[in-house]
Amino acid sequence: MNSHLFVWLARRRRSLVAALLLALAPGAPAATVEGRVTLPKTRTAPVVNQRYEIVAKAGVLSTNPPVAVVYLEGGFPRPATPPAAEIRQKDLTFIPSLLPVQAGTRVEFPNLDDTYHNIFSFSPPKRFDLGRYRADERPVPAVLFDQPGLVTLRCDIHEHMRALVLVLATPHFVVTDATGAFRLTGLPEGRHVLKAWIDSRTTREHVVELRGGEVQRVDFP
Amino acid sequence: MNAAAEAERSRVAGFRTKLLAAIMLLVTILTLLALFFAQRSLAAGFEEELQRQFQGELAAIDRAQQLRRGALVERCRALVRRPRIRAAFEDDALDLLYPNAADELRDLVARPAEAVPADATRGLRARFYRFLDRKGAVIVPPAGERTVGALAPADEARLALPALGERPQIGYLAHAGAGGGPTVSEIIAMPVFSFETGEPLAALVLGFEPPEFSGQTRDGIKRGIFLAGRLHGPDLPAEAALRLAPEVDDAAEEPVRVTLGGVPHLLFAKHLNPDSGYPPAFEVGVYPLAGLAARQRRVRWQVLGAGAFVLLLGLAGSHLVSLRLARPVEQLAQDSAVDRARRAQAEAALEMTSAELQRSARFSADASHQLKTPVTVLRAGLEEMLAQPGLTPADCAALSELIHQTYRLSSLIEDLLLLSRMDAGRLKLQLGPVDLGALIAGSLDDLGALPDELGLKVEADLPPVLRVTGERRYTAMILQNLLENARKYNRPGGRIRLAARADGAWLRLAVGNNGRTIPVAAQGHIFERFHRAAIGENVPGYGLGLNLARELARLHQGELLLVRSDADWTEFEVSFPLAAPE
């Protein structure tokens, strides 16, 4: 799925670049999309401060309790300076367990536990291995995610620890709340495809016609 | 007599010898039987002990194997949970599999360059490892990867499994070893489970040096691994391996006997990897029975020696026993010889006595007969003289007395005749019912008819019916004897008393009279023949009456006794069997 996206992006690069330049022209009024993604039911009732973790069921990775990532598809230029993001390792979990980032984002992985942690990925979009390190490791180990796709993060030491980094070609994305509600602001005008990533196999999409200053409601059934 | 004693002694000696022989035979048979059974149970015991030994060793080996395998399996299980290894399969990064596994298995796999330490951990070091894919086929490591351990491609291909399964699978692989020679590795195929689905994604196959199968144990058991029709073990020659191949399957159930190089062996086998997708492998032990046979022979000799000793003891014991047993028999033989002599003497004496008795009885019978005739002639002559006219009254009285004496004489002769018949045992009573009451009445009448100068008084105390068993003639004779005595020995004016009573099956008739009593010293002799000395010569009689009466009473099955003789009263009692009532 992600590789499809990447291929698609690669093919449409030239025409997209023009559109993006137009869309990001200063002064252009931004559009907003809000709505709700129908999330898969979980057995456990969501509670406050519940830790989000990655669960695997029948080979499908998702978060528990479920949340979705809503993003606007399109070829957007990379920022000049890589945006930064962070996944903390605390209490033997990755926080957050699902991190959407724009391709080219540098993600730091601070270790907040008293034990060694290791982060590695064998996922095709980004293979890396940070080795084992403690909380006092400086600089904080970081990885630049430069190719769109889904990256599974694992800890070499703690086999249950998982995190997903959803590397997107777009800067326009948001994580829904536990009810599935989202609000995506600062979107460029024009005809776009709005997508909702629900789990590693399920991505829903919706074509939207955005106009500046308008708030459009999109629900993913 | 001396010759007879000699014969007796030799017979006794013969008996002793036979007894000894019999006891010896018995002892020998018993000893041999005991030996036989001891021998058999010993042989069975040896077999059992051997089996037990096998089972014990097998169990010990099994326990050690289980422990070792458990440890290995645990290590493998920990390895296949390693996130890097799982990630390589889950994230489809097979190119990273062997490089990462090299890191993860660093501690487990012996490095090619590294000298393997010859300690306990040696068996826990893997010789090689490979991964199998989801279908069980071998994922061939990249050419440069040296840590996986060298395996020829053909050997490598044999690590494949038909199915991964949920559990670790054990197998044995015969392959070319590091030194080039053939070797056997114990392999464990541990499934790698998906973290996501829990299904086996792949398997890690590790090859270990098998535990010490080779080498002789102290009992001479040679061990090896039987794999795919071949036996691997340095102690066993190749042809032995070929020879054993068909037997292993049977031996997996029970140890079997095989002949190896002309020597009997016991072969046992144990399936090492049940429930495995790999070809079956057996641990094989061969036990040479030669040592066992030698031990058995030794013990047999010991048993035989003990048996011979016991036999010797038994024979000595039987000699003693036979002597002991023979002694009473000898005694018996001697005694019986003495007895026989005594009996012969007694028989001779008895015969003589009997002959004499016969002779004397015949003599008295003859004498009585011979005497009767002259007495009769004498009486007839005297009666004729008495009938002569012209006799003076004195002559008449003298003649009458003489005639009376002839009656006494003939009566005496009658009695003697009767006694002699009884002595010779020729008097047989014709027993029948006898009316004793009538007899008594008749006797009393006779008594009354006699001239009674004494003025005797007769009393009778009799039941109305008096019937006894006897012969009338002799019953009457007893009664007359008693009554005559009672009258004869009475005093003037005295009494005669008759009293009869039934006592069970007997009738007891008491006859008592007044008069002089019988002295105590004479009371024991009054029933003897011709005994009347104490009575006084003026009383007629010749001392046969009581004797005759008693003999007759005894012929009647009865008895005649003196009841009392004191204080002017003498009483006899005669008993007769009562006649059956009509």
Confidence of residue A18 (pLDDT cuts 50, 70, 90): very low
Task: State which of B191, B208, B225 marks the end of a domain.
Answer: B208
CB contact under 8 A, A120 and B87: yes
Summarize pLDDT for B175-185 with one digit per residue, the tens. Answer: 887 666 778 88
Instruction: Please give the model's pTM, rounded to 2 decimal places.
Output: 0.53
- CATH code of the domain containing B432: 3.30.565.10
Does residue B240 carry a pLDDT above 80? Answer: no
pLDDT recorded at residue B217: 54
Residue-range definition of the domain harbouring residue B152: 81-208
Summarize pLDDT for A53-106 with one digit per residue, the tens. Answer: 676 666 667 777 788 899 998 778 888 788 889 999 888 888 888 899 998 899
In a domain, B398, yes or no: no
Confidence of residue A45 (pLDDT cuts 50, 70, 90): very low
In a domain, B536, yes or no: yes
Collapse the DSSP code of B171 into the 3-class scheme (helix H, G, I; strand E, B; otherwise coil) and give the result.
Answer: strand
Does residue A49 carry a pLDDT above 50? Answer: no
- Provide the phi-psi class of B6: left if phi over 0, else alpha when psi is between -120 and 50, else beta: alpha
Residue type, B203: A
Chain mean pLDDT for chain A: 80
- Number of Cβ pairs < 8 A linking chain A and chain B: 47
Chain mean pLDDT for chain B: 79
Percentage, residues of chain B above pLDDT 70: 86
Confidence of residue A174 (pLDDT cuts 50, 70, 90): very high
In a domain, B497, yes or no: yes
**Set of chain A residues whose Cβ sits within 8 Å of the Cβ of B197:** 56, 58-59
Residues of B engaging A, defined by a Cβ cutoff of 8 Å: 81-84, 86-88, 90-93, 96, 194-197
Does residue B345 carry a pLDDT above 60? Answer: yes
Q: Which of B112-126, B274-288, B351-365 has the lowest mean pLDDT?
A: B112-126
**Set of chain B residues whose Cβ sits within 8 Å of the Cβ of A121:** 87, 91
In a domain, B356, yes or no: no
Q: Decide if B337 contacts B378 (C-beta within 8 A).
A: no
Q: What is the ipTM of this complex?
A: 0.72
Which residues are CB-neighbours of B315 under 8 A, at least 6 positions away? Answer: B24, B27, B28
Q: How many domains does chain B have?
A: 2
**Set of chain B residues whose Cβ sits within 8 Å of the Cβ of A159:** 81-83, 86, 195
Tell me the shortest Cα–Cα distance from A138 to chain B, in angstroms.
25
Residue-range definition of the domain harbouring residue A99: 2-42+50-220
pLDDT recorded at residue B518: 80
Summarize pLDDT for B190-233 with one digit per residue, the tens. Answer: 998 877 677 888 999 988 887 765 444 556 677 778 887 777 77
pLDDT recorded at residue A87: 92
In a domain, B87, yes or no: yes
Q: Which of A144-148, B65-69, B354-358, B395-399 has the highest mean pLDDT?
A: A144-148
Q: How far is CA B5 from CA B107, B136, B575, in A?
A: 107, 108, 54
Q: How far is CA B196 from CA A62, A65, A67, B118, B550, in A?
A: 11, 17, 19, 41, 137
Span B519-538, average pLDDT: 68
CB contact under 8 A, A56 and B197: yes
Does residue A107 carry a pLDDT above 90? Answer: yes
pLDDT recorded at residue A86: 92
What is the Cα–Cα distance from A152 to A51, expressed in whole angstroms?
18
Does residue B1 carry a pLDDT above 80? Answer: no
Task: State which of B208, B230, B249 marks the end of a domain.
Answer: B208
Residue A105 has which token pair?
Answer: 């984002």
Confidence of residue B486 (pLDDT cuts 50, 70, 90): confident
Span B140-149, average pLDDT: 82
Task: State which of B208, B239, B260 marks the end of a domain.
Answer: B208
Q: How many domains does chain A have?
A: 1
Confidence of residue A109 (pLDDT cuts 50, 70, 90): very high
The nearest alpha carbon in chain A to B104 belongs to A156
What is the Cα–Cα distance from A97 to A165, expressed in whole angstroms?
8
Q: Decide if B479 contacts B447 (C-beta within 8 A).
A: no
pLDDT recorded at residue A12: 53
Does residue B429 carry a pLDDT above 80? Answer: no
Span B384-406, average pLDDT: 83
What is the Cα–Cα distance from B227 to B101, expressed in whole angstroms?
29
In a domain, B463, yes or no: yes
- CATH code of the domain containing B179: 3.30.450
pLDDT recorded at residue B539: 57
Span B423-448, average pLDDT: 78
The nearest alpha carbon in chain B to A150 belongs to B91
Span B103-118, average pLDDT: 66
- CATH code of the domain containing A18: 2.60.40.420
Summarize pLDDT for B23-40 with one digit per residue, the tens. Answer: 888 888 988 898 888 888
In a domain, B454, yes or no: yes
pLDDT recorded at residue B59: 79
CB contact under 8 A, B195 and A56: yes
**Long-range pairs for B401-407 at CB < 8 Å and ≥24 separation?**
B403/B379, B406/B375, B406/B378, B406/B379, B406/B382, B407/B379
Instruction: Check residues A165 and B12 and name the one with the higher pLDDT.
Output: A165
